[in-house]
């Protein structure tokens, strides 16, 4: 079993105390996003958790507690963009805080377990193609040597974010825009000896040396765990997504970064309500069990085949 922590919110940035409490108690409760009164109990013992994949823009609250993960395999999807407060209102200042956190995390856990995400790439009068080319290169220089590969994607303008992005006049890049961006990005990566993969993109970027990636990556997990996995593609994700199966333990409408492009927050009222209910000791994130809830123990097991071997790098 692979735990995703989380596509739905930034657990390392805002809920690390809750997360470590869940590891200590050995289980977590998760509401079904489609039916909030259906609650799954998921065991978090190291013998069934093959890997934990963290998604974050700011794992600083976890840095002094990394040793509490010593019994688990894990890695971080670390989003480090070039946007200012007009797009990412509550993300700490990049050159004063986030870059330092990126470098510190990498030094603690190793570069192979810190994936740099530069996504989603969006365009407007301020964030032009030239802007992205300039600041992608600057960021790459700042964190060069602290990661092995970078994940990129281009914004999808979902209906639920349309009103939120109106004031910024955000546009989806055209095919021509994408070609111009990835051509230069690939040159920047090649000159600094890292690779770029795409996230859930329909467009074929292989002519630029950019393959379709997997954010929940069975090959990376095999390398970290030192064991082969027997696991399939996650059928709950979009067809373009290459991720393998995982269980997400987050809750939508709980991230406090306030990013304009975010699909995981779609109601400011719900965000305020949910976050006001946060209790680090609750088995549910930003929620309490009620008499209407039905808790079911989810059957989980390791996907490792149990035969230790060295994974080719």
Distance CA 311, CA 226 (A): 6
DSSP letter for 233, please: B
Q: Could you tell me which of 249, 222, 244 has the C-alpha nearest to residue 20?
A: 249
Domain chopping of the chain, boundaries: 2-297
pTM above 0.85, yes or no: yes
Using an 8 Å Cβ cutoff, are 214 and 243 in contact?
Answer: yes
Helix (H, G, I), strand (E, B) or coil at 202: coil
Q: What is the pLDDT along the chain (313 residues), one digit of tens a residue?
A: 999 999 999 999 999 999 999 999 999 999 999 999 999 999 999 999 999 999 999 999 999 999 999 999 999 999 999 999 999 999 999 999 999 999 999 999 999 999 999 999 999 999 999 999 999 999 999 999 999 999 999 998 888 899 889 889 999 999 999 999 999 999 999 999 999 999 999 999 999 999 999 999 999 999 999 999 999 998 888 888 989 999 999 999 999 999 999 999 999 999 999 999 999 999 999 999 999 999 999 999 999 876 544 444 3
């Amino acid at each position: 079993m692979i735990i995703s922590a989380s596509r739905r919110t930034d657990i390392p940035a805002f809920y690390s105390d809750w997360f470590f409490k869940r590891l200590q108690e050995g289980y977590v409760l998760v509401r079904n996003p489609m039916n909030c009164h259906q609650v799954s109990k998921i065991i978090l013992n190291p013998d069934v958790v093959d890997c934990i994949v963290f998604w974050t823009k700011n794992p600083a609250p976890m840095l002094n507690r990394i040793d509490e993960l010593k019994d688990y395999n894990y890695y971080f999807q670390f989003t480090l963009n070039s946007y200012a407060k007009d797009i990412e209102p509550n993300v700490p200042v990049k050159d004063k805080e986030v870059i330092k956190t990126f470098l510190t995390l990498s030094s603690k856990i190793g570069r192979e377990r810190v994936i740099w995400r530069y996504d989603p790439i969006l365009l407007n009068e301020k964030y032009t193609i030239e802007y992205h080319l300039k600041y992608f290169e600057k960021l790459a220089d700042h964190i060069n040597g602290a990661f092995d590969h970078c994940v990129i994607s281009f914004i999808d303008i979902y209906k639920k974010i349309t009103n939120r992005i109106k004031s910024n006049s955000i546009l989806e890049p055209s095919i021509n825009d994408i070609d111009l961006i990835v051509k230069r990005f690939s040159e920047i990566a090649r000159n600094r000896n890292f690779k770029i993969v795409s996230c859930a993109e329909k467009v074929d970027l292989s002519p630029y040396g950019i393959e379709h990636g997997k954010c929940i990556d069975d090959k990376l997990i095999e390398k970290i765990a030192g064991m082969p996995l027997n696991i399939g593609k996650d059928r709950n994700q979009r067809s373009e997504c290459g991720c393998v199966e995982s269980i997400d333990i987050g809750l939508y409408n709980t991230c406090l970064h306030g990013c304009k492009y975010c699909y995981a927050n779609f109601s400011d009222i719900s965000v305020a309500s949910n976050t006001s209910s946060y209790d680090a000791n609750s088995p549910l994130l930003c929620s309490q069990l009620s008499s209407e809830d039905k808790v079911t123990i989810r059957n989980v097991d390791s996907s490792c085949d149990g035969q230790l071997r060295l994974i080719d790098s």
